[in-house]
Amino acid sequence: MLLRAKGELFDRHLVATDGRIGAVRDVYLDDARWVVRYLEVEAGDEGIGGRKVLISPSSIRRDAGSEREIAVALTREQVRNSPGADQDMPVSRQFEEAHANYYGYPFYWDGPYLWGASQHPISGEPSVTTPPGGVAPGERVRELKEAEQRARESHLRSSEEVIGYRLVATDGPAGHIEDFVIDDSDWRITDIVIDTRTWLPSDHLRLPTSAVAKVDWATREVRLNIARAEVEKASKA
């Protein structure tokens, strides 16, 4: 199912096996692979220490939940005792390792696929799978080297931070980021929703993340690999 982050995912309640945890307030996105790595949950009203916690999609149960609730295979005590992250700073690899080790999840950066050893979030000990038809040895070496490089770099940022960033096409400004479209089967960010009213009458458009060349955190800009004429052809949000 495709979800709008601000319009449909935020404010949903996370429900543990023994009761509510809290509401989703934000997501942490990986701009190298364009995937949601963590849900930020405000757990203050549910007796879990009055703090914000990060929950991996690996915790989410596919066999439960509803339009307003997300069920996770965790207890409230597990969440209460989980590692804390500095909410005002980018999530560090050190925190991610502690978080994954605490919950027993495989490292998503340890492998060539979207979630490391798999294309989908997995919990527990993973088993490496091979795509149909196999992978040539040289291709596998290249993929593993890319995975190692990703592991050395932090690409995680809060979506609330990125929303509002200026969008810059190859030939000039093209609006700003307004929202993200997420596929909850693997938590890929398929599209960015952009507001183009500063230069187009088109209003709000959906642009595939494949059109993004780089996110510049210093200048608060998202740089595209296409021109403004191509942006105009994007589908309406």
Each residue's pLDDT tens digit, 152-190: 456 888 999 999 999 999 999 999 999 999 999 999 999
Cα separations in angstroms, 34 against 45, 108, 127: 31, 13, 23
Confirm if 224 and 170 have CB atoms less than 8 A apart.
yes
Residue 113 and residue 197: Cα distance in Å, rounded?
A: 37
* Dihedrals phi, psi of 99, to nearest 5 degrees: -65, -50
Spatial CA neighbour of 28 closest among 11, 1, 53: 53
Strands 172-183 and 188-195: antiparallel
For residues 174 and 216, membership in a common domain is answered with yes
Domain end, chosen from 152, 177, 212, is at 152
Judge if pTM exceeds 0.75.
Answer: yes
For residues 55 and 118, membership in a common domain is answered with yes
* Dihedrals phi, psi of 133, to nearest 5 degrees: 90, -10
What domain count does the chain have?
2
Q: Report pLDDT digits (tens) over 126-160.
A: 333 333 344 455 665 555 555 445 444 568 889 99
For residues 145 and 113, membership in a common domain is answered with yes
3-class DSSP assignment, residue 162? helix
